Amino acid sequence: MIRGLGKLRESTARRLARCVSSESATSETKNLVPAQTNLRGESLLNNPRLNKGAAFSREERAIFGLEGFLPYDVHTIEQQVQRVLSQIDKQNTPLLKHVFLASLRDQNQVLFYRVMQEHLKDFLGILYTPTAGEAIQSYSRLFRRASGCFISFPNADGMRAQLEAHVDAIDNKPDVNDAAPGPIDLVVVTDSESILGIGDQGVGGVTISTSKSALYTLGAGFNPNRLLPVVLDVGTDRYELFSDPLYMGWKHTRVRGEPYNQFVHKFIKNCSELFPGALIHFEDFGPNNAYRLLEKYRDKVPCFNDDIQGTGAVALAALISAGIITKTKLSQQRIVLYGCGSAGLGIVNQIRDGMMMLDGVTKEAASRQFWCVDRNGLLLQSMGPNLRPGQMEYARPDHEVYDWPHEVEEQDALRLIDVIRAVKPTVLIGTSTHARGFTEQIVREMAHYVERPIIFPLSNPTSLCELDPLDAMHWTDYRALVATGSPFPPVPMSDGRLLKTAEANNALCFPALGLGTVISRSRTMSPGMIMAGVHALAQLSPVHDNPDSPGSLLPDLTDVRRVSVKVAAAVLMKAIEEGHSHKEFNFESEEDVEEYIKRRMWDPVYRPIEPADGEERRVSW
């Protein structure tokens, strides 16, 4: 017998006695269930899903032939985290830090997620926005190792085989963390037409899919080995990309029209057949396609668009919390939206759904509570042919604004300041990417008519935010209720306390919405399921503890794992209630639901590794 093997098998037997199956394993014991592999030596160290680096135990080193491949001393994961942090500190720019973290993910998956989870607020902007935007723009010049699935239009005939090959590469097997019945829980797909605030980025958009996938793991414990980040390479209209000799994507202008529709449909069909029960997350599709694809497929497969639904969900939760302070219903709010792209329309759609579901008003009545201002001014019905999909529902009748005064007389369009004066809104939301677009004049005008103005400058990154929370407080005599889309430092209040500004970060909501949908094995992510998640998120706001002297409108991002359990539980129960679930559940209490979810959340913990029984099996999770 190999030295140490008997000891390892004995300890494994004791662990398995406590963790007989995925159903009996608790959230505390799930990480004791061993992973199995026949990899040895350098091959094991080169597998990021199994690699522990210096944390391999003495017994594991002996059994898997790692002696000689590693320095002698065995280190804990806590020591490894400290080493990683010291190395990150030596990277001089955010982009270099992003590249370092991506390299760590490709070497040691558990360590990457452990570092990110423990320092989420510090590194979220490095992994995702804004630094991801810079990494995407430089993708072909920074390329070292492929990560994600590349489905290119010229290779459409081989699409199914390409998707299957990615699953085979993981060699996925059932595990305590499994949620969907197939080998993949979640597909994050982009066609790269509208990446962050930087537009068409071609094949480089795969970075947004990989980063968003990581947020599902960090936020809600999705097993990273059961996530598939995908870029649909349908060309690019950005000349500097396909004219660059180092560009790695398909050098062709964007495919549009019916060929594009057939390509996307083939992708959705293959995913639904190969990955039954998986959620398809549409990310950063162009405005003309985003709404259309979501409407086309939402009742056919479980699918979700974070730009439309996720942004709207977290904004609605913040608005519900603000309503607790102002003692007003959603349907009583007069809401002005500044910036009518996918995110802005997603927000007003979600708030309108909230008015209908929570307050019982009609869709028509709810729609009349919104005034939407875009680059060409207030949306009016006479603009019909020039309005993008989804905008016409919020266009105001021309006769309604006939006698409204204009700040600039010679201009025909009604600008934001004109709308503020005429409407006297209770809520002002910004998704315009117009840096500091909420001027002192606009904010003071709003605060003149409203006791507690609710102001949500949500544009990302911080440099494009419409308003600094400190200015919002100064210009409203500290009466404003603020949530931002980017992180800001606490605001010194007039009474000397520091007020933490709510960050309406999608990561507070979309991972849990996805987890609840997948775990419930729901055939769809229904509006009712989203609303259940929103309500659960709002209930976790610090406002509930002291509405007369409130803190942040939303829970802190560092608490996202606890938040996700509550939100996912609400989504799961609503899926059962609405009859969308494909699985029968028998929960006796809310605690049972939450424990069931915790058992299926992946943790960045080194699990024991033992030899696999069959020689053909490479990695089992």
The amino acid that residue 268 corresponds to is I
Domain boundary among 280, 301, 322: 301
Contact 440, 475 (CB under 8 A): yes
Position 13 confidence tier, pLDDT thresholds 50, 70, 90: very low
Same-domain status, 270 and 324: no
Mean pLDDT along residues 143-167: 93
pLDDT in tens, 435-458: 999 999 999 999 999 999 999 999
Is residue 181 pLDDT above 80, yes or no? Answer: no
**Structural domain contains residue 559:** no
pLDDT in tens, 78-89: 999 999 999 999
- Is 613 assigned a ligand-binding role in the annotation? no
Same-domain status, 329 and 276: no
Position 307 confidence tier, pLDDT thresholds 50, 70, 90: confident
Same-domain status, 109 and 139: yes
Mean pLDDT along residues 391-400: 94
Same-domain status, 376 and 258: no
Q: For position 596, what pLDDT does the model report?
A: 94
One DSSP character per residue, 53-81 reads GGG--HHHHHHTT-BTTB-S----HHHHH
Does pTM surpass 0.95? no
Mean pLDDT along residues 452-474: 93
Same-domain status, 284 and 424: no
Burial (CB < 10 A; 0-12, 13-18, 19+), residue 13, is exposed
What is the Cα–Cα distance from 414 to 401, expressed in whole angstroms?
Answer: 9
Is residue 3 pLDDT above 50, yes or no? Answer: no
Same-domain status, 242 and 336: no
Planar angle of CA 139, 145, 146, nearest 5 degrees: 75
Same-domain status, 248 and 326: no
What is the Cα–Cα distance from 283 to 132, expressed in whole angstroms?
Answer: 14
Same-domain status, 359 and 416: yes
**Structural domain contains residue 471:** yes
Tokens of 370: 């919104």
- Is 592 assigned a ligand-binding role in the annotation? no
Same-domain status, 320 and 429: yes
Query: Residue with structure tokens 């939303």?
Result: 554
Is residue 177 pLDDT above 60, yes or no? Answer: no
Q: For position 2, what pLDDT does the model report?
A: 42
Domain boundary among 504, 522, 557: 504
What is the Cα–Cα distance from 100 to 121, expressed in whole angstroms?
Answer: 17
What is the Cα–Cα distance from 383 to 376, expressed in whole angstroms?
Answer: 10
pLDDT in tens, 498-550: 889 999 999 999 999 999 999 999 999 999 999 999 999 999 999 877 766 66
Smallest Cα–Cα separation from 550: which of 615, 458, 483?
A: 483
Smallest Cα–Cα separation from 416: which of 449, 438, 394?
A: 438
128 is catalytic: yes
**Structural domain contains residue 411:** yes
Rounded to the nearest integer, the mean pLDDT of the chain is 90
Q: What is the DSSP letter of 278?
A: P
- Is 288 assigned a ligand-binding role in the annotation? no
CATH of the domain at 161: 3.40.50.10380
Tokens of 235: 């060309």
> Domain containing 436: what range?
309-504
**Structural domain contains residue 450:** yes
Mean pLDDT along residues 407-424: 87
Radius of gyration of the chain (CA): 25
Q: For position 51, what pLDDT does the model report?
A: 97
Domain boundary among 268, 283, 301: 301
Tokens of 414: 């009604």
**Structural domain contains residue 160:** yes
Q: Which of 30, 97, 128, 139 is catalytic?
A: 128
Q: Report the SS3 class of residue 492.
A: strand
**Structural domain contains residue 52:** no
Q: Report the SS3 class of residue 484.
A: strand
Same-domain status, 165 and 271: yes
Give Cα 6 to chain centroid, integer Å. 44
Strands 35-37 and 619-620: antiparallel
Contact 597, 255 (CB under 8 A): no
**Structural domain contains residue 65:** no
Q: For position 545, what pLDDT does the model report?
A: 75
Mean pLDDT along residues 124-143: 90
- Is 505 assigned a ligand-binding role in the annotation? yes
266 is catalytic: no
Same-domain status, 276 and 343: no
Q: For position 130, what pLDDT does the model report?
A: 82
Q: Which of 212, 566, 574, 598 is catalytic?
A: 212
Give the total number of structural domains in the chain: 2
Tokens of 96: 């270099």
Same-domain status, 350 and 487: yes
Planar angle of CA 426, 429, 432, nearest 5 degrees: 150
Tokens of 19: 């963790």
- Is 307 assigned a ligand-binding role in the annotation? yes
CATH of the domain at 462: 3.40.50.720
Planar angle of CA 173, 511, 569, nearest 5 degrees: 85
Give the bridge partners for 282, in sequence order: 189, 305
pLDDT in tens, 255-286: 999 999 999 999 999 999 999 999 999 999 99
Smallest Cα–Cα separation from 306: which of 490, 172, 485?
A: 485
**Structural domain contains residue 345:** yes
Is residue 577 pLDDT above 90, yes or no? Answer: yes
Q: State phi, psi for 100 to the nearest 5 degrees.
A: -65, -45
Is residue 18 pLDDT above 90, yes or no? Answer: no
Smallest Cα–Cα separation from 317: which of 547, 534, 509, 529?
A: 534
**Those residues with Cβ within 8 angstroms of residue 269's Cβ, 6 or more apart along the chain or in another chain:** none
Residues constituting the chain? 621
